[in-house]
Copies of this chain bind each other. A is one copy, B any other.
Amino acid sequence: MSVAVENFVKAIYNNENHDIADTKPGNIASKLGISNAAATDMAKKLDAKGLLNYEKYQALRLTKEGEKMALNVIRKHRLWEALLHQMFDMSLHEIHREAELLEHETSDFLTEKISEYLGHPKFDPHGDPIPNADGEITTKDTSIALINAEENTEYIVSRLMSTDKEFFEFCALNGIKYGNKIAVKKQFQNSKMTQITINSNTIVLNQDFTQIIYVNEIN
């Protein structure tokens, strides 16, 4: 399907699920930077294609098929963001800009290669969940505060749930970064301290930090 169609269903999906606005043509139009007339036009065409249900003056509702297409594009977008962030150390703003273009020209084959390379991450660097190849969102990462490993166990950093500058500086200094591997071990049972190892560098963190560092199991 075309770039215009993919972006259209993606915009509806995001409005339906995350963003504030409803999914009437006007909101989709302003999100995509096109005229209201163009959005109504497209809505009729996609209704005919079975991707959404269009009824005059009503909000647009994606069909199962339309939602599947949206999730497929979102999966590609978020995997590109993850890859570009990890490999090239690009900023959150930069990876978004590039992923917005690449997402439409990426085969399912290449998408799986990227996912595999990254260890099938469940979240992108923004902390948004990455749908799996079947378009399901299975959010199962945990904060390392909740990990009870007696021995060192390896995980992949999935998100850093903070807006605190000092926390991010600390993370940068210690290699705690989206996609990186860290070994986690509860320092003492009953303790609130957790020991983590990154690149053979071991540090001990207290709850303030362990509660906001999220990881995925390595599968």
How many copies of this protein are present in the complex?
2
Return the contact of A117 from the options B87, B94, B101 (Cβ within 8 A). Answer: B87
Let me know if A106 and B102 touch, CB within 8 A.
yes
Which chain B residue shows the least CB distance to A95? B110
**A94-150 CB contacts (< 8 Å) to partner B:** 94, 97-98, 101-102, 104-107, 109-110, 113-114, 117
Kindly state whether residue A90 has any CB partner on chain B within 8 Å: yes
**Chain A, interface residues (CB within 8 Å), range:** 10 to 19
Let me know if B87 and A110 touch, CB within 8 A.
no
Kindly state whether residue A71 has any CB partner on chain B within 8 Å: no
Let me know if A88 and B113 touch, CB within 8 A.
yes
List the B side residues contacting A98 at CB < 8 Å: 106-107, 109-110
Which chain B residue shows the least CB distance to A114? B88
Q: In angstroms, how far is the closest chain B Cβ from the Cβ of A212?
A: 29
List the B side residues contacting A107 at CB < 8 Å: 97-98, 101
Return the contact of A101 from the options B87, B88, B97, B105 (Cβ within 8 A). Answer: B105
Q: Which residues of A are in contact with B by a Cβ distance under 8 Å?
A: 84, 87-88, 90, 94, 97-98, 101-102, 104-107, 109-110, 113-114, 117
Given A84-B113, A88-B117, 5 extra CB contacts under 8 A:
A88-B110, A98-B107, A98-B110, A101-B105, A102-B106
